[in-house]
Amino acid sequence: MGIWHPICHRIEAIWLAQRGTLFPWVPVVLACGVGAYFALRQEPSEAVLWGCGAGALVLALMATRGREWSGPLLWALALGLAGFALAGLRAHVVAGPVLGWRYYGPVEGRIVGIDRSASDALRLTLDRVVLERTDPARTPHAVRVSLHGDQSHFTPQAGQRVILTAHLGPAGGPVEPGGFDFQRHAWFLGIGAVGYTRTPVLRLEASPGGQALFRARMALSQHVQSRLPGQTGAFAAAIMTGDRAGLSLATLEAMRISNLAHLLAISGLHMGLLAGFVFAASRLGFAAVPRLGLRLPAKKLSAALALLAGAGYLGLSGGNVATERAFVMVAVMLGAVMLERRAFSLRAVAVAAILVLALHPEALLGPGFQMSFAATVGLVAVFGWMRDAGLARGPRWLRPVLAVVISSAVAGAATAPVAAAHFNQYSQFGLLANLVSVPLMGVLVMPAAVMATLLLPLGLDWIALRLMELGLRWILTVAEWVAALEGARVPVVAPGPHVLPLLALGALFVVLWQGRTRALGILPMTLGVLLWGGGERPVMIISDTGTLIGIMTEAGRALNKPSGGGFVADNWLENDGDDAGREVAFARWSEDLAVGHGIRVVAGKAAAAMPVICDGAKLVVLSVAPEQPPAQGRDCQIITPDTLRATGSLALLADGPDLRLVTARDLSGARLWNSQ
């Protein structure tokens, strides 16, 4: 014990200094366990997952009897193992058949989702799927199909059973090694195949039962859009029902560039504004009837009514993960009011984060979870610091304005790195757009949305919708004006995998840790910024079909084709932080670029019919499978479509004077979602 005794005393002193403030660290450690699961290159067995769960329970029991210095450490280990086990078990719970081949033929199913694809095509999500000549045990539980061609005769309705002729296949892997994993995303959504159709969709029947909430949502969406035509009506439908199918790509792009896209998603802002309006209106109602207001616990009853309104909004909006997360956060806040605890505290935010991670561990990887909790933690921390420091907030009439300015600035600063990392852009005038738009959402748009819903049975909802239209038109006008300003969108290079975790852990240490040593959190944040700024993009990227190739030049990435693979090409350029269009990228291309890097590209069926020769190249890429298998023992590596089906997209990274080949499978590993 000679050397350990002073160490234990030192650790104990550190924990004593943090006494009463460690609970907000619970979701942080839980998230570390979740992140560790998703970072693995090899899927752990179910026995390992159950073992981690059991180990977490044992460590938690030991922690309850631990000493002052050992208890928090044991709790941290228990929570880390619990997060790992929760993520793994969730991945197994949502498991379903994934289409392992290219399918073309009739697809029958029930409509359970309607939205738009990245190419602005109407898109249907179908369940109860039937595929021709396919064993039901191998048929995906749900598929997502984009509708192309002339579909003017067809109006999708919730619960309809339809049949169409579609091209289907498994969700694609990352468009580049280390990129966003679409296969993982589809796995947790329960979607086993994606594709498109160019033939008319035929209605078989409207399902007699089920999908009641979905049908109610779509009926309300269509009603709102009939009252408010155009993009204003589509905007209103989006924030009232979560139906964004009516929004055009131009509107979405303007909202993104102006940093107002968060107003479209039913998130913490909308749920908070709705609950806040119902809570305030209920308190005023009780106060207007003194006989009730003085005899009943008006504050608690108002919080309960606001909670019921939030639950109704959750169901009406579709109950996706983002809305569930927002409801959990609001429910925790309102629960604190009913229990006479401080509603806006880091403890309340921690409880919400724990519940979300327990229900949907995969949400940790998405921008929605990261941005909403970053904004909430930042706001609670800053306003808490202002309250504790006793800072003057100016005259009473000016306080609401200052609160809006401070909230927008803090939320914008907290979410800016996350938004830049996920969406490869920084909105230079986003603060300005939010300052003149967000207050209107709170004082006009959301109250009008509540009133419209209440007046709908009386046929008087048009009164509230007209008021709502005024606010929405203003927001859309601001978005278009800001998006048109020169330099409104600043492209940002995609960060490496360690950047956001370093920034997040450093910022959380600054906010949650007590004492002067919290300044140490600046170190990982600084390291994250340096890694982001010093990261290098791949010298060359090859798509998983072998048809699209991008080579980095001094002017930016050059693409070998002027069309085709638009989604992949756009992602490459965005990740490069390059705002050049596809035509500009193609104009940079020349065959000498590939030759200069020791790469030979063989395109077309005629070329594939010829014998494969290295011709001095180190890497030969075939876009079409050769008629005869390439002979072994060659001086070059040959990439064929069969190779790419196994490896996914490829990248050549600078490794000193040489180039190192990395595949998407190398970085994503063999996981449940890509091994079906």
Considering the domain architecture, whether residues 87 and 133 belong to the same structural domain is answered as: no
Q: Write the DSSP string, 478-509.
A: HHHHHHHSTT-EEE-PPPPTTHHHHHHHHHHH
Considering the domain architecture, whether residues 525 and 553 belong to the same structural domain is answered as: no
Considering the domain architecture, whether residues 645 and 670 belong to the same structural domain is answered as: yes
Boundary-marking domain end, from 180, 210, 240: 210
What pLDDT is stored for residue 605 in this prediction?
Answer: 66
Considering the domain architecture, whether residues 15 and 83 belong to the same structural domain is answered as: yes
Report the distance separating Cα 209 and Cα 326, nearest Å: 29
| pLDDT digit string, tens, across residues 430-456 | 888 888 888 888 788 888 888 888 888
Boundary-marking domain end, from 399, 419, 439: 419
Q: Which residue has the higher pLDDT, 454 or 26?
A: 26
Considering the domain architecture, whether residues 135 and 52 belong to the same structural domain is answered as: no
Considering the domain architecture, whether residues 80 and 169 belong to the same structural domain is answered as: no
| pLDDT digit string, tens, across residues 494-533 | 999 999 999 999 999 999 988 888 889 999 999 999 999 8
Considering the domain architecture, whether residues 509 and 398 belong to the same structural domain is answered as: no
| pLDDT digit string, tens, across residues 198-209 | 999 998 876 656
Considering the domain architecture, whether residues 141 and 110 belong to the same structural domain is answered as: yes
Range of the domain at 504: 499-532
Residue 269 lies in a domain: no
Residue 516 lies in a domain: yes
Residue 149 lies in a domain: yes
The rounded percent of the chain whose pLDDT value lies above 70 is: 91
| pLDDT digit string, tens, across residues 477-495 | 999 999 999 888 889 999 9
Instruction: Please state at what angle helix 230-241 crosses helix 446-455, rounded to 10 degrees.
Output: 80
Residue 187 lies in a domain: yes
Side chain identity, residue 207: S
What pLDDT is stored for residue 1 in this prediction?
Answer: 47
Which residues contact residue 68 at a Cβ distance below 8 angstroms, ignoring those fewer than 6 apart? Answer: 12, 15, 16
Boundary-marking domain end, from 190, 210, 230: 210
The rounded percent of the chain whose pLDDT value lies above 90 is: 29
Residue 540: pLDDT above 60? yes
Report the distance separating Cα 588 and Cα 124, nearest Å: 38
Considering the domain architecture, whether residues 605 and 544 belong to the same structural domain is answered as: yes
| pLDDT digit string, tens, across residues 235-294 | 998 888 888 888 888 898 898 888 888 888 776 667 777 788 888 888 888 888 887 777
The CATH number of residue 160's host domain is 2.40.50
Residue 628: pLDDT above 70? no
Which residues contact residue 531 at a Cβ distance below 8 angstroms, ignoring those fewer than 6 apart? Answer: 495, 496, 498, 499, 502
Report the distance separating Cα 662 and Cα 629, nearest Å: 23
Residue 79 lies in a domain: yes
For the chain, give the mean pLDDT: 85
Considering the domain architecture, whether residues 558 and 667 belong to the same structural domain is answered as: yes
Q: Which of 203-212, 213-222, 306-315 has the lowest mean pLDDT?
A: 203-212
Considering the domain architecture, whether residues 166 and 189 belong to the same structural domain is answered as: yes
Number of domains comprising the chain = 5
Task: Work out whether strand 142-147 and strand 122-131 pair parallel, antiparallel, or are unpaired.
Answer: antiparallel
Residue 259 lies in a domain: no
Residue 390: pLDDT above 90? no
Residue 415 lies in a domain: yes
Considering the domain architecture, whether residues 549 and 666 belong to the same structural domain is answered as: yes
pLDDT band with cut points at 50, 70 and 90 for residue 321: low
Residue 625 lies in a domain: yes
